[in-house]
Structure 1
Amino acid sequence: MNDSVVGQIVARHAEGYKVDIGSAVAAQLDHLAFEGANRKNKPNLQVGHLVYARVSFANKFTEPEIACFHPTTGKSAGFGLLEGGTMITVSLGVARYLLRPECELLLLLSHHLKYEVAIGMNGRVWINAESIKAAIVVSRCIESFNDSKSTDVSGLVRSIVKQVGP
């Protein structure tokens, strides 16, 4: 509960959406689970859209429920529809590493490129950058870090940025 996840809308229904978050069953996302949403003002998400959400309810007997707002403030706090960009999948250990405030990999990448990421505790990472080339560099760095056992993060970033170019 309360973990942030990146999910993909897989179905729409009268009360909301079914969202693939990588669990055994699809999560439920209610139409009203967004900041400022009411019966007349609901988001219009389509199948295939990506969302950044928080797990609001989960147990082994029912499907999980997710919401796109912070529970105490009611504000979106970065949650909601993820427009543009691409999604990659990493190990849960790498997802935890990327979520750390002092994450060296993301810090070094920010010296070379302008980008934004949404990192889910379900191992999914959404990447949006100023160009396709920049998005490729960010995704390659994260995927290479995910696949390698090396601890030389600065060398990894330098080699990929040199390979693809800024």
Structure 2
Amino acid sequence: MTYQVEVEEGLSFAPAGFARAVDATLSDPRGWASPGHEFTRVANDASVRIILASPQTADDLCAPLDTAGRLSCRNGDRVVINAWRWVNGAPSYGKDIGAYRRYLINHEFGHALGLPHAACPGNGAPAPVMLQQTKTLDGCRANAWPGGVDRP
């Protein structure tokens, strides 16, 4: 599967830095990459476009899903990462913004792989990456990487 990385013009993020974070997450052996699931970044005409967007643009690109200026989404061939969330993370990850960013990329890219949301399998268990950890952990522990229950 091919992907391209884009940063909305006017945001104060270096496109190369965002691209490095995406590349590192998608190529990490703890992630979705596995035999039969290799991901290659290309300059254009990709299967999936991963876009870092302002809250307003994220809302527009995610519609009809209501992202309320704070959530990210997958809509068609677009994985839209809300820039506000990229900077601020989520309460479930505390101050560990790096882990939250890896979760966010893995979660939204999981949707691009066709995966739905998942539930917490049990109190204290590692959260499936397809659990909406931005909103709640439902008793699970924060977890940025796909596990067995997440695999397509």
TM-score normalised per structure 2:
0.29
Choose between structure 1 and 2: higher strand proportion: 1
Q: Whose Rg is larger?
A: 1
TM-score normalised per structure 1:
0.27
